[in-house]
Amino acid sequence: MADSQQFDATIFPPSISPLHVTLRELIQQMGISPDALVVVDQAGSIVMVNEQAATLFGYSSEELRKQRLEMLLPEHLHEIHTTHREHYFAEPRTRAMGAGLQLFGRHKNGTEIPVDISLRPVLLDDELVVIGAIRDMSEQYRAELERMQQAEQIRLQAELIELSHDAILIRDSVSRVIFWNKGAEELYGWSSQEALGRITNSLLKTRFPTSLAEVDAHLERDGRWEGELTHTRRDGSLVVVESRQMLVCDVQGHRTAILEINRDITERRHLEQAMQAVHAQAVARLDFLQQIMDALPGSIYLVYGSDARLLLANRAAASLWGAIWHIDQPMLEFLATNGIKIFDAQGHPLTPKYFATLRAVQEGETVLHHQETIRRPNGSSLPVLVNAVVLNSSRWENLVREEVESTTQYAPHESITLVVHQDVSALKEAEYLKDEFIGVAAHELRNPLAVLKGYAEMLVFQTARGKGPKLAAWQSEALEEIDEATSRLDKLTEDLLDVTRLQAGRLVLSREPTDLVALTRRMVTQRQMTTKQHVFSLDTEHTSLVVDVDRVRIEQVLTNLLSNAIKYSPQGGPIELTLREEVEPHATLLSIRDRGIGIPFAQQARIFGRFVRAENARTSEITGTGLGLYLSRELVERHGGRLWFESTEGEGSTFFMTLPLA
Ligand code: ADP
């Protein structure tokens, strides 16, 4: 009876006679129907169901009989269904239920089953009943849901295409535009309407990297092409695009369309070109710099990192060392592999940590005019003055970095140090001759000076003892002047002789354990007696610090430093000394601070040189020879110590001296 042919086109309302069936016939029909069938009477009670219906809803046929039809419907439909059912019985006819609507039944376990229901009224033994044929539509429902989801996805994708900033276009087999997204409208200036049907390459005046034919051949061969194109916009301006194209073919392999996505890279190209120009400029400047460096007679190079690895060197650098220092090679490794040695000004082997270059890279110290002697692989020696400066001007570094980062192992955080070596062999030669002369002159001066000093002292002494006539006041003054002048001359000749002794390596130290605290105190007391304008103070927490030194020589150094502190602070003021113990290296550190005229910055680098005096000392007419500091530093260094200073012109100077502790 689910077969619609058997029920014929029986039409209600009652003007047309309905189909009559007997219970037997009905039971038989229900048994063979493939559909789930439910027979309901006018009161809405289930008269009978077939097996399919019972299975569909998860009940047994028995369970359903005489139950209300609504138990097979979702709860929320019960009420409305009752009304519908009543209307239906008032005017029964064969029809599909809920045309155009998705109907749902309710399974015993509560889940909803999408169904399709057609209704047919029949007279069962003269009682009007309705047979509902119910078809499980779960599969179709799921398929429909999927279709709807796909449609939604396609709609979203289409929107996405419109949303893209890239120009997306589709052209047909003869290159006519058949799709033109918003991105294309924005990029090129033609609306979709204007672009559709136009031949793309003539619309956009496409310029190809090679030729259209080549791009086409590539597309044909690989199915896709990627590259840069130049297009002309509607307003005539040019735009560089990164284009991706894909060929679409039908089943026979005929080209049906080409998908094209074009991304505007004009800005990126401009930036790249600008960067290339900057890079080219940097390279040119560096090249220029290299040329200047190569043209200079002195050796100039740049090192980086705490082990002074070579970054850049001029031509003279190679001949300086007499060996090739390879880029990225650490300094000590280079020296060791080539058997190169470095000595100090006195010819003693220099400990690496005192190399000017290593002091600069490791301590960040600016080392100026440091005397070193290089013993090259072939045994020849070269006296040099080394200047090593850590570069911290970012412009300098950027210029160098640009280039070196690509060619060396240099890492951006490492500092770069500029090292300049000046060959001073000619100067050394001249100096040697000068020292020779000074030595001879000082030596020759010594004897007549001793005679002069002896007689002057004898005159003063004997007259004081009443021998000979009493001297007039002016004669006594003249004698004192002679005595003072000869003392100064004597000191000068002694200093000059010390210079020549030092130069010739003839200065011998006779060391003995000496308490530096006591020595300093004594020197301070002595000096304090010579001045009322200055106030000396010594700050130390030590009662004794014993150093192994030549006491006379260290006294000479202290005398010189203390006299300078007095001499170069003509307005007087405090002269403060501190003396303490240093741990690394284990040494005494003495500082002497004055508030005098200071040393002008421009002359600081050379102040330890021989006969060197600062400009302000000369103009203040303070007498001096410029030998004291030279001798002092030499003497301190001979003892294994160091002597240096900090000074600001017009504010004062502080001299520092270390001496190693046993
Ligand atoms: P001299 O004092 O005989 O000129 P030195 O070798 O002792 O020679 O000193 C060299 C120069 O260093 C001095 O001429 C002076 O310009 C400068 N100098 C040394 N000590 C001081 C100081 N304490 N304050 C200012 N300048 C100083």
Closest atom of ligand 1 to 594 CA is: 23
Mean pLDDT (whole number) for 164-183: 92
Query: In angstroms, what is the span from residue 503 Cα to ligand 1's centroid?
Result: 21
Does the beta carbon of 560 sit less than 6 angstroms from any atom of ligand 1? yes
In the three-class reduction of DSSP (H, G, I as helix; E, B as strand; rest coil), residue 590 is classed as strand
pLDDT value of position 18:
65
Integer Cα distance of 524 and 575 in angstroms: 10
- Answer yes or no: is the C-beta of 594 below 6 A from any ligand 1 atom: yes
C-alpha angle with apex 659: 656 to 662, nearest 5 degrees? 155
Mean pLDDT of the 501-521 span: 91
Q: Is the CB of 629 under 6 A from ligand 1?
A: yes
Task: Say yes or no: CB of residue 643 within 6 Å of ligand 1.
Answer: no
Most confident of 27-36, 81-90, 642-651: 642-651
Structure token pair of residue 318: 């190679």
Above 70 in pLDDT, residue 399? no
CA distance 123 to 121: 7
Question: Is the shortest distance between the CB of 568 and ligand 1 below 6 Å?
Answer: yes
Give 537 Cα–ligand 1 centroid separation in angstroms. Answer: 21
From the alpha carbon of 569, which atom of ligand 1 is closest? 24
Is residue 486 within 8 A of residue 449, CB to CB? The reply is: yes
- Left (φ > 0), alpha (ψ -120 to 50) or beta: where does 163 sit? alpha
Q: Is the CB of 597 under 6 A from ligand 1?
A: yes
**Quick check: CB of 641 below 6 Å from ligand 1?**
no
Contact 514, 546 (CB under 8 A): yes
Strands 112-124 and 127-136: antiparallel
Ligand 1 atom nearest residue 616's Cα: 16
Protein residue whose Cα sits closest to atom 14 of ligand 1? 613
User: Which residue type is seen at 184?
Assistant: A
Contact criterion met (CB below 8 Å) for 299 and 317: yes
Please give the distance, rounded to the nearest whole angstrom, from the Cα atom of residue 608 to the centre of ligand 1: 9
Per-residue model confidence as pLDDT tens digits over 598-617: 999 999 989 998 889 999 99
Give percent of the chain with pLDDT exceeding 90.
51
Q: Could you give the residue ranges of the DSSP H alpha helices within 504-580?
A: 516-529, 551-567
Q: How many CA atoms lie within 13 A of 309 on its CB side?
A: 13
Mean pLDDT within 320-334: 92
Rounded Cα–Cα distance for residues 398 and 391 (Å) = 11
Q: 436, 429 in Cβ contact below 8 A?
A: no
Q: In ligand 1, which atom is closest to the CA atom of 629?
A: 6
* Cβ of 592 less than 6 Å from ligand 1: no
Model pLDDT, residue 10: 39
Sheet order of strands, 299-304 included: 309-313, 299-304, 416-423, 381-391, 367-375, 341-343
Atom of ligand 1 nearest to the CA of 652: 24
